[in-house]
């Protein structure tokens, strides 16, 4: 069991799906956690207070919009003020849009690049000095199998996720001697709201049924024929935060049922 007592974590996009599972895992392992993301305020407050009760650690929430650098800066300052430091940074917030490139809305391109890629640049640059100073830090960027391979109609997402892995490797090298590791995790398909929302759009773009999208598009890519589970991503995140992983930096860990082995 990994012990993160005394550490503080920030997980972007943690009001749902993978981010919420990782935030819960970090809190249960002993860390204070700042949550972030959108949703109904009452629902988020319920998540926050339940996690605070069950974990016994300080759980806070920031509504910062990952498209806005000034809000990101304020979120990091608030976390540093509240906890004294941000030791673990999980860049997880992400959105998707599925459309042929000739119809791809410009504003969707801008939002996807801002949330899925640029927000990690902004959070990292505001957290890194504190991590270097304390001589310990963990940055984990939640990328995707789409950081390694492409699928049609996902131009912005694929471009952003490939970029996120480039950022991961660069920052890993920059702080390799400072006790700070920087890694990416690249899941295959996980049944979260992000994937459930894109099923109707993919069906429309390909002219097939929603059942056929699940069977012939999503799981067709995964040789195990199983969706990845959020707990599997959480456990790998906890391992990368452990001392056993202090020499693992700059990697892109695939959890994709063999998708990118093909």
Nearest approach, Cβ of residue 114 and ligand NAD (Å): 8
CA angle 236, 55, 83 (to 5 degrees): 85
Q: Where are the alpha helices (DSSP H) in the chain?
A: 17-28, 41-55, 69-83, 106-113, 119-134, 155-174, 193-206, 210-212, 230-241
Per rule CB under 6 A, count of chain residues that contact ligand NAD: 29
Residue 137 near residue 80, CB atoms below 8 Å: no
Among 113, 149, 176, 195, interactor with ligand NAD by CB under 6 A: 195
Category of 250 on φ-ψ map: left (φ > 0), alpha (ψ -120 to 50) or beta = left
Q: Please confirm, yes or no, whether 153 is among the known catalytic residues.
A: no
8-state DSSP, 15? S
Among 32, 85, 124, 192, interactor with ligand NAD by CB under 6 A: 192
- The distance of Cα 26 from the centroid of its chain, to the nearest Å, equals 13
144 touching ligand NAD, by CB under 6 A: yes
194 touching ligand NAD, by CB under 6 A: yes
239 touching ligand NAD, by CB under 6 A: no
Among 2, 28, 31, 37, interactor with ligand NAD by CB under 6 A: 37
Catalytic pick among 61, 83, 153, 157: 157
Nearest approach, Cβ of residue 134 and ligand NAD (Å): 26
Q: Hey, which residues does 62 pair with through a beta bridge?
A: 36
Q: What distance in Å separates the CA atoms of residue 236 and residue 247, rounded to the nearest whole number?
A: 15
What is the Cα gyration radius of the chain?
18
**Beta carbon nearer to ligand NAD, 198 or 249:** 198
Among 33, 79, 140, 142, interactor with ligand NAD by CB under 6 A: 142
Among 29, 51, 59, 65, interactor with ligand NAD by CB under 6 A: 65
62 touching ligand NAD, by CB under 6 A: no
Q: Hey, which residues does 142 pair with through a beta bridge?
A: 185
**Beta carbon nearer to ligand NAD, 68 or 132:** 68
**Beta carbon nearer to ligand NAD, 15 or 32:** 15
**Beta carbon nearer to ligand NAD, 134 or 151:** 151
Contacts with ligand NAD in 96-135 (CB under 6 A)?
115-116
Residue 56: CB atoms within 10 A of its CB come to 11
Nearest approach, Cβ of residue 65 and ligand NAD (Å): 5
Q: What is the b/e burial string over 166-192, where b = at least 16 CB atoms within 10 angstroms of the residue's CB?
A: ebbbebbeebeeeebbbbbbbbbbbeb
198 touching ligand NAD, by CB under 6 A: no
Residue 48 near residue 59, CB atoms below 8 Å: yes
Binding site for ligand NAD (CB under 6 A): 13-19, 36-39, 65-67, 92-95, 115-116, 142, 144, 187, 189-190, 192-195
What is the set of active-site residues?
157
């Amino acid at each position: 069991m990994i012990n993160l007592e005394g550490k503080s974590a920030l997980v972007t996009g943690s009001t749902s799906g993978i981010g919420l599972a990782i935030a819960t895992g970090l809190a249960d392992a002993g860390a204070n956690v700042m949550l972030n993301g959108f949703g109904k305020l009452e629902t988020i407050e319920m998540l926050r207070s339940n996690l605070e009760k069950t974990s016994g650690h300080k759980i806070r929430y920031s509504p910062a919009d990952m498209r806005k650098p000034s809000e990101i800066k304020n979120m990091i300052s608030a976390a540093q003020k509240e906890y004294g430091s941000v030791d673990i940074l999980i860049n997880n917030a992400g959105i998707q849009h599925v459309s042929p490139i000739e119809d791809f809305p410009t504003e969707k391109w801008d939002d996807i690049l801002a949330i899925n890629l640029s927000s990690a640049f902004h959070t990292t640059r505001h957290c890194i000095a504190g991590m270097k100073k304390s001589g310990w830090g963990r940055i984990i960027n939640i990328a995707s199998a789409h950081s390694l391979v492409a699928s049609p109609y996902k131009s912005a997402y694929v471009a952003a996720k490939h970029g996120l892995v480039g950022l991961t490797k660069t920052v890993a090298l920059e702080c390799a001697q400072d006790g700070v590791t920087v890694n990416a995790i690249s899941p295959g398909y996980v049944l979260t709201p992000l994937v459930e929302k894109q099923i109707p759009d993919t069906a429309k773009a390909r002219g097939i049924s929603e059942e056929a999208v699940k069977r012939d598009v999503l799981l067709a890519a995964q040789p195990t024929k199983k969706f990845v589970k959020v707990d599997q991503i959480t456990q790998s995140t906890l391992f990368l935060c452990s001392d056993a992983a202090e020499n693992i930096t700059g990697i892109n860990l695939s959890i994709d049922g063999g998708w990118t082995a093909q």
